[in-house]
């Protein structure tokens, strides 16, 4: 490794690799050589390298301590609308009985009118479309369900009990539950594949969703993973939020302009003026009819599914 003409060292340089072991790892009666190497392309992740005492041969084991952390997404709770229990008829009747001129259009400020509409509409929706709390598990497989999760927890308890007692009946029970879980997982996978196949042959499916399903089935996707780590001010950052903040600050700094640009002194009036906007109910209704109900709600928290359901009603007002 000390010889610059060494072909192995040239190979490491060409591949952007570096050796971190420089002590003798193989000993004879007269010499010691460093032939047990550890090469890496991320030397800053190596905290320490130690050559230990030989155990059962003339080679010394090499211990490498790596400073590395993994980021795992944890499950979390989310509140969503339970559209299966929605009372659309009651919602429409309540919206129809609402005095919009008195409740909403009681101000000349467009911002106040908008906030009045959102509050009134949201409070009415809450009465006729209940909500439910779900658990989102980002690391779960798409075919996983609650039955399989409960069986897995039951299997783990039986396995711990069987290891503790070493009772043949407990081991028999464990094998039965294990085999049942295997059958459930296989059936869930088959059902999930059938669901994807039926969606792919559906002629009414949007093109974007069709391509997402096709890529997930064929695994024909580009690797768009973020960089594994970022080094900034001598520190290593692994978490995606930390990396995004570092990149944002970097591009914000280089985008600053020290000298303000000169604004042209042009007092001539523009050739054209846009004095008024003409928006008809039919134009709004046409836009509401083509809303994608699978899209999430916007900043006003009003679901496109609800807007599309009651569009023909509140447009009359």
User: Of the candidates 190, 261, 184, 236, which has an alpha carbon nearest to the alpha carbon of residue 45?
Assistant: 236
Q: Looking at the structure, do residues 48 and 17 belong to the same domain, yes or no?
A: yes
The answer to whether residues 12 and 61 belong to one domain is: yes
62: enclosing H helix or E strand: strand 62-66
Determine the pLDDT at residue 1.
Answer: 59
- CA distances to 20, 28, 36, 60 from 32, rounded to whole Å, are 17, 6, 11, 11
Q: Which residue has the higher pLDDT, 266 or 14?
A: 14
Residue 237 lies in a domain: no
CA 218 to chain centre: 20
Mean pLDDT along residues 111-128: 92
Residue 145 has pLDDT above 70, yes or no: yes
How many angstroms from the chain centroid is the CA of residue 31? 55
Please state, in angstroms and rounded to a whole number, the distance separating the CA atoms of residues 31 and 12: 25
Summarize the chain as % helix, strand, coil (round to 5). Answer: 45, 10, 40
Q: Which domain holds residue 92?
A: 76-137+275-313
Question: pLDDT category, 122, cuts 50, 70, 90?
Answer: very high
The DSSP line for 144-197 is --HHHHHHHHHHHHHHHHHHHH--HHHHHHHHHHHHHHHHHHHHHHHHHHHHHH
Last residue of a domain, one of 66, 89, 104: 66
**Position 288 in a domain:** yes
Name the helix (H) or strand (E) containing 101: helix 100-103
Place of tokens 């196949």: 197
- Note whether residue 158 is domain-resident: yes
pLDDT of residue 114: 92
CA–CA dist 252, 231 (Å, integer): 18
For residues 82 and 111, state if they share a domain: yes
Of the candidates 129, 133, 152, which has an alpha carbon nearest to the alpha carbon of residue 141? 152
pLDDT for 223 equals: 59
Burial of 204 (0-12, 13-18, 19+ CB in 10 A): exposed
pLDDT band (50, 70, 90) for residue 5: low
Higher pLDDT, 224 or 284: 284
- The percent of residues above 90 in pLDDT, for the chain, comes to 25
Per DSSP, the residues of 229-276 read -EEETTEEE-SHHHHHHHHHHHHHHHT--SSPPPPP---PPPS-----
The pLDDT, as a whole number, for residue 276 is 81
- Assess if residue 225 is contained within a domain: no
Q: What pLDDT does residue 229 have? A: 75
125 pLDDT above the threshold of 80: yes
Tell me if 164 is assigned to some domain.
yes
Higher pLDDT pick, 3 / 316: 3
Q: Are 127 and 157 in contact (CB under 8 A)?
A: no
Cβ atoms of 11 and 25 within 8 Å: the answer is: no
Count of structural domains, the chain: 3
Q: Domain for residue 200, yes or no?
A: yes
Per-residue model confidence as pLDDT tens digits over 35-83:
888 999 888 888 899 988 777 677 888 999 988 777 778 889 999 999 9
Rounded to whole angstroms, the Cα distance separating 217 from 212 reads 9
| Per-residue model confidence (pLDDT) at position 127 | 93
Would you say residue 168 lies in a domain?
Answer: yes
SS3 50: strand
Mean pLDDT of the chain: 84
Q: Do 32 and 95 fall into the same domain?
A: no
Q: Is the pLDDT of residue 183 over 90?
A: yes
What average pLDDT score do residues 274-295 get?
85
Per-residue pLDDT of 86-107, as tens digits, reads: 998 899 899 888 898 898 888 8
For residue 132, pLDDT over 80 is answered with: yes
Share of the chain above pLDDT 70, in %: 91
Local confidence band at 312 (pLDDT 50, 70, 90 cut-offs): low
Residues 6+ apart with CB under 8 A from 270: none
Do 118 and 88 reside in the same domain of the chain? yes
Cα(18)–Cα(5) distance, integer angstroms: 16
Q: Between residues 212 and 266, which one has the greater pLDDT?
A: 212
Q: Is residue 165 part of a domain?
A: yes
Answer yes or no: do 80 and 42 share one domain. Answer: no
- 187-191: long-range pairs with CB below 8 Å, 24+: 188/143, 188/144, 188/145, 188/148, 189/143, 191/143
238 — pLDDT class (breaks 50, 70, 90): confident
* End-of-domain residue from the set 201, 217, 233: 217
Structure-model confidence comparison of residues 255 and 18, the more confident one? 18
The predicted structure's pLDDT at residue 66: 87
pLDDT > 90? residue 188: yes
């Amino acid at each position: 490794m000390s010889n610059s003409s060494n072909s192995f060292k040239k190979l490491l340089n060409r591949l952007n690799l570096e050796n971190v072991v420089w002590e003798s790892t193989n000993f004879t009666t007269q010499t010691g050589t460093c032939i047990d190497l550890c090469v890496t392309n991320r030397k800053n992740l190596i905290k320490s390298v130690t050559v230990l005492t030989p155990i059962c041969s003339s080679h010394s084991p090499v211990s490498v301590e790596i400073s590395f952390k993994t980021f795992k997404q944890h499950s979390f709770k989310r509140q969503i609308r339970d559209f299966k229990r929605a009372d659309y008829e009651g919602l429409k009747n309540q919206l129809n009985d609402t005095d919009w001129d008195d409740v909403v259009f009681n101000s000349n400020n467009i911002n106040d009118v908008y906030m009045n509409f959102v509050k009134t509409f949201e409070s009415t929706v809450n009465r006729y479309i209940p909500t439910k709390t779900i658990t989102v598990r980002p690391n779960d497989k798409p075919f996983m369900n609650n039955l399989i999760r409960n069986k897995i927890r039951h299997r783990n308890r039986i396995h711990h009990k069987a290891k503790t007692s070493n009772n043949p009946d407990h081991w028999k029970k464990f094998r039965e539950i294990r085999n049942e879980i295997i059958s459930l997982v296989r059936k869930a996978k088959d059902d999930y594949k059938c669901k994807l196949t039926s969606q792919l042959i559906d002629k009414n499916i949007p093109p974007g969703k069709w391509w997402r399903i096709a890529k997930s089935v064929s695994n024909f996707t580009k690797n768009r993973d973020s960089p594994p780590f970022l080094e900034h001010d001598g520190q290593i950052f692994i978490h995606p939020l930390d990396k995004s903040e570092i990149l944002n600050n970097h591009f914000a700094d280089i985008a600053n302009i020290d000298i303000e640009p000169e604004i042209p002194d042009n007092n001539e009036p523009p050739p054209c003026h846009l004095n008024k906007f003409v928006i008809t109910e039919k134009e709004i209704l046409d836009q509401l009819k083509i809303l994608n109900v699978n899209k999430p709600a916007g900043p006003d928290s009003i679901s496109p599914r609800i807007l599309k359901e009651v569009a023909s009603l509140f447009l009359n007002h």
